[in-house]
Structure 1
Amino acid sequence: MAQDIRLLVLDIDGTLAGESNDISPRVLAAIGEAQRRGIAVAIATGRMYQAALRFHQAVGSTLPLMAYQGALIKCPRTDTLHRHAPLPRALALDLLAYLAPLETQQELSIHLYIDDQLHVRAIIDDTKAYAERSGVEPLAVGDLTTLMHHQTHLETTKLLALSGNTSLIGQILADLEQRYPSADLYLTRSVDYFVEATHPLANKGEAVRFVAEDLLDLKPEQVMTVGDNFNDLEMLRYAGVGVAMGDAPLPVQQAADWVAPGVEEEGVAVAIEQFLL
């Protein structure tokens, strides 16, 4: 198996980075050894491009960075934009109309990602915690619908609803899945307290397929992916070897070919040692 894999694709949160928000020395060493054996390494994340860059640099990837679930694929070394699939404008406004009353009731906060900047109505505690972990500076712009109407050129790369009420998040996801066919909108959760919406073709499976097949001329069986949550399902299913982290929800583990130990047990290093070294 090891000699067949030419591309290793890694998620960040819950996979490469756990509580510390950093990559452990053991995981970095395993990644470095895989690269020395000729295996390319790439990052595929729900994070913003700017929030994922330090991880891309830490693993020494020479490939484009797949950010926002793959809605943005860009090469940090050359600044080449390979793909940007923003949310259709009408859909972004429709989602805002659905979510805004809940935000007004302080049930959740809405994050709009435009031009790799985080736009919010106001900076509340949830947003502060999110921004601190991501290392980004949120822009408080007031009413998001007004922003969209006044600046018609703006393209929304991703919309995220965030709430500590995970039951509410589950209900919102179920409601939105009823409203929008998957051909119109990609909906997912990367953690229990997020609902994330992107262009229907913006998912990690499609992003990994593009990098593997279109850029590297590889087949799925030459790809190994590692992830820990529902937004990783598509890339786990695409790859010849799809590895779920031990902390992953059961449906994600069931979709994988192998389950590694959890992020705090350095599961990425264990998976690399198992399949690539």
Structure 2
Amino acid sequence: MALDIDGTLTGVGSNDISPAVKAAITRVTDHGVKVVLSTGRSLVGVTPIAAQLPVSFALCSNGAVWWDPATREIPKRTTFDPGPAVEKLRALLPGSVFAVERTGVGNLSLGRFLPGDLWGETVDATFDEIAATPTPRLVLRWLDRTPAELAFAVKDLHLPGVEWTTDHTEAWLTVVPADVTKGSALHDLSGELGIDPRDALAIGDGSNDVEMLRWAGHGVAMGQAPAHVQAVADEVCPTVLDDGAAQVLDRFFPA
């Protein structure tokens, strides 16, 4: 079972998981199901969530960083050169701030993000320092703009050699290496574990969850997910505020 975090298990940017969701996920593991966190968060942002749940594996940074909670090891980490993307996005979206992930530590930041935006230690950096730092994840916030304004501004954007998605709740854009998505990472991980995707359940709410929902035998979109995310799902459940994920799990894995 693959679970997004923000907007699925928690509110966006929160580490608070409701008792109903915790209980439902624990019951899933009682049925012998492996629970995989599949998230756009960096590893530093995933660890406080994994500490609260019986998680078998975590795919962080939209699948660019794999983490085994049992061994605390990172068996796979895919990076890219962020310089060309930052240069192009800075010209297209003036007033944006950027950060590149330093896995397990924090971020190098070009500009000041809003409080709570970034996980871990954040160090101010120059463009040259960021451009010289291979990273699994580059994030951008377009300050004082809306998600709709960002989506319109990047509708024709082409960034060679990377994958990118925007957020539907914030003017936020995430860039990861080419051919890395939640869906591709789950495809590779399920192959290693000998799990048929047709037997998998996935729940998510964002644009970065589309490939994951398509990968799973049964994909569930949260009730507050954008229309294009709901369109690829097999089912739409209640919102995160209504513990929609718990309601789905209670039905599939009853007590």
Could you tell me the TM-score, scaled by structure 1's length?
0.83
CA distance in 2, matches of 1:122, 1:189: 19
| Equivalence map 1:12-23=2 (5 Å) | 12-18=5-11, 21-23=15-17
The one-letter code of the counterpart of 2:187 is R
| Equivalence map 1:148-167=2 (5 Å) | 148=130, 152=132, 154-163=133-142, 164-165=144-145, 166-167=147-148
CA distance in 1, matches of 2:9, 2:221: 12
Report the 3-state secondary structure (helix = DSSP H, G, I; strand = E; otherwise coil) of the residue aligned with 2:191.
helix
Q: Would you tell me which structure has more helix in proportion to its own residues? A: 1
Q: Is the 8 A contact 1:187 1:195 kept in 2?
A: yes
Report the 3-state secondary structure (helix = DSSP H, G, I; strand = E; otherwise coil) of the residue aligned with 1:17.
coil
Report the 3-state secondary structure (helix = DSSP H, G, I; strand = E; otherwise coil) of the residue aligned with 2:136.
strand
Tell me how far 1:120 sits from its aligned partner.
Answer: 0.7
Q: Is the 8 A contact 1:115 1:155 kept in 2?
A: no
CA distance in 1, matches of 2:148, 2:214: 27
Tell me how far 1:209 sits from its aligned partner.
Answer: 1.4
CA distances 1:221-264 after superposition (whole Å, capped 9, x unpaired): 11100000100000100000100000000010110001110000
2:78 matched to 1:121? no
Could you tell me the TM-score, scaled by structure 2's length?
0.90
Tell me how far 1:275 sits from its aligned partner.
Answer: 2.2
2:251 match: 274
CA distance in 2, matches of 1:162, 1:225: 27
2:122 matched to 1:138? yes
2:79 match: 86
1:108 match: 96
Quick one: structure 1 residues 175 and 264, their matched pair in 2 at CA, closer, same or farther if it must change by over 3 Å? same
Quick one: structure 1 residues 161 and 273, their matched pair in 2 at CA, closer, same or farther if it must change by over 3 Å? same
Report the 3-state secondary structure (helix = DSSP H, G, I; strand = E; otherwise coil) of the residue aligned with 1:129.
coil
2:41 match: 47
2:205 matched to 1:234? no
CA distances 1:16-50 after superposition (whole Å, capped 9, x unpaired): 00165411001101111111111111101000101
CA distances 1:57-90 after superposition (whole Å, capped 9, x unpaired): 21121x2210000000021321332221112x2x
Tell me how far 1:213 sits from its aligned partner.
Answer: 1.8
Tell me how far 1:102 sits from its aligned partner.
Answer: 6.2
CA distance in 2, matches of 1:168, 1:161: 14
Q: Is the 8 A contact 1:32 1:59 kept in 2?
A: yes
2:140 matched to 1:147? no
CA distances 1:186-238 after superposition (whole Å, capped 9, x unpaired): 11124441111111222100111122221x20111111000001000001000
* Residue segments in structure 1 that go unaligned for 5+ positions in a row: 1-7
CA distance in 1, matches of 2:85, 2:2: 31
Report the 3-state secondary structure (helix = DSSP H, G, I; strand = E; otherwise coil) of the residue aligned with 1:174.
coil
CA distances 1:84-124 after superposition (whole Å, capped 9, x unpaired): 1112x2xx211121133467x5x221111133421112334
The one-letter code of the counterpart of 1:169 is L
Count the aligned residue pairs: 249
2:78 matched to 1:69? no
| Equivalent position to 1:253, from 230, 237, 250 | 230
Q: Is the 8 A contact 1:223 1:239 kept in 2?
A: yes
Q: Considering Cα pairs closer than 8 Å and 6+ residues apart, tell me whether 1 or 2 has the greater RCO.
A: 1
**Identical columns (%):** 27
The one-letter code of the counterpart of 1:97 is E
Q: Is the 8 A contact 1:173 1:187 kept in 2?
A: no
